[in-house]
Amino acid sequence: MASRTNGGSSNGPVDKGADFANYFCTYAFLYHQKEMLSDRVRMDAYYNAVFQNKHHFQGKAVLDVGTGSGILAIWSAQAGARKVYAVEATKMSEHARTLVQANNLQDIVEVIEGSMEEVVLPEKVDVIISEWMGYFLLRESMFDSVICARDRWLKPSGVMYPSHARMWVGPIRSGLVDQKKNDYEAAMDDWYGFLEDTKDYYGVDMSVLTRPFSNEQEKYYLQTSLWNNLHPNQVIGTAAVIKEIDCLTASVNDILEVKSSFSSAISMASTRLCGFAGWFDVHFRGRGEDPAQKEIELTTAPSSNNGTHWGQQIFLLHPPVHVDEEINLDVSFSMNRSKENHRLMEVEFDVKISKPSGKMLPPINKKFYIE
């Protein structure tokens, strides 16, 4: 064996950036907090949700689940909360506490280091605020912890911030489909050169491993979802809501699996169906009997000028399919947590493509991994 993982050092041969990732992979790093705090779409939505709905906060008890640097807790206090409990599992809690003091809110905001599942509060709260959303909403999301917090600590009349969440899927075109195919082919070319060298120089024929190597590379380049901020004109047909979550009532079971069938009409002349994109939005609507004065939406949909750090998750189809206006897609979508690796999500697309004439193109079935 040798070089020991790729996690190693920067400037390495294989693992550019891996070091960076390993180093900042926990929320205990300010660098990562800064990335999230610099996301204007995210920040504006929460800021407006709080300050344009002060009636939900004035004189109230608030719980911030996963407070990170403490920004939502501080805003809640600034909007008039009587008391804010800011729970954070990582050492970032120490920075949050420092920040709360520097902004002279230590009498209102109480930073608690601990996991939401174990924390004990001295009272039930009127509002739970949390920025719990992961890539494509549910990837490594904290929603389980938010549900736990709600069931234990939210008053029966309490309000969730955000109150609703939706997942979307839409058909797309993207040059990534060619790029990833090229990457895959380059990796295979390289493999064949490697096979020759190993046979010639070292007397061992490794060609029997070509198939597993190809499978491994295919999985990596072609079956793993990609992060991207798409331009809206890359969405080539109608997008569909594949999941709606009411944050006040959803259970953990409700989000273990996402299953949806939907139709999508191609709306662009002579283009390529290169795959699908998945994104989400959340809404701040308050509660039926205690609604928001001003409803706020936070969307991570493709946008020409409001990209987010969440971007969209891209699922590429190889080879892309030539499509035209009035073509219709019937899509069955499912997403599950991987049995082998809980962190991993497995996604499956079943696509039936019908022409206006009623003629069907060959159906597509593809599996993907969200890592």
Cα–Cα distance list, 344 to 155, 171, 258, 324 (Å): 34, 23, 14, 34
Looking at residues 76 to 115 of the shown chain, list those that interact with a second copy (rule: CB under 8 A): 78, 95, 98-99, 101-103
Q: Residues 161, 284: contact at Cβ < 8 Å?
A: yes
| The one segment of 14-22, 55-63, 120-128, 356-364 that binds a second copy by CB under 8 A | 14-22
Catalytic residue among 35, 117, 123, 140: 140
Counting contacts by CB under 8 A, is residue 32 touching a second copy?
yes
Q: Residues 147, 250: contact at Cβ < 8 Å?
A: yes
Rounded Cα gap, residues 133 and 145, in angstroms: 12
Closer by beta carbon to a second copy, 127 or else 142: 142
Looking at residues 226 to 245 of the shown chain, list those that interact with a second copy (rule: CB under 8 A): 226-228
Counting contacts by CB under 8 A, is residue 120 touching a second copy?
no
Q: How many residues bind a second copy (CB under 8 A)?
A: 95
Sheet holding 61-65, edge to edge: 109-113, 83-88, 61-65, 125-129, 154-161
Looking at residues 171 to 210 of the shown chain, list those that interact with a second copy (rule: CB under 8 A): 176, 187, 191, 194, 197-198, 201-209
Q: CB of 168: closest distance to a second copy in angstroms?
A: 17
Looking at residues 309 to 328 of the shown chain, list those that interact with a second copy (rule: CB under 8 A): 309-311, 313
Q: What is the DSSP letter of 288?
A: T
Q: Is 244 a catalytic residue?
A: no
Closer by beta carbon to a second copy, 120 or else 208: 208
Closer by beta carbon to a second copy, 103 or else 115: 103
β-bridge partners, 159: 127
Counting contacts by CB under 8 A, is residue 278 touching a second copy?
no
Counting contacts by CB under 8 A, is residue 339 touching a second copy?
no
State which of residues 57, 61, 63, 75 lies at the interface with a second copy (CB under 8 A): 75
State which of residues 69, 163, 234, 264 lies at the interface with a second copy (CB under 8 A): 69
Closer by beta carbon to a second copy, 214 or else 334: 214
Nearest one of 281, 265, 267, 258 to 349, comparing CA atoms: 258
Q: CB of 306: closest distance to a second copy in angstroms?
A: 14
Cα–Cα distance list, 66 to 156, 222, 251 (Å): 22, 34, 19
Closer by beta carbon to a second copy, 202 or else 339: 202
Q: Residues 327, 315: contact at Cβ < 8 Å?
A: no
The tokens for 364 are 């597509």
Q: Is 348 a catalytic residue?
A: no
Q: Residues 280, 167: contact at Cβ < 8 Å?
A: yes
State which of residues 57, 109, 131, 237 lies at the interface with a second copy (CB under 8 A): 131
Cis peptide before 162 (omega within 30 of 0): yes
Nearest one of 20, 74, 12, 42 to 282, comparing CA atoms: 42
Closer by beta carbon to a second copy, 34 or else 82: 34
Residues noted as catalytic: 131, 140
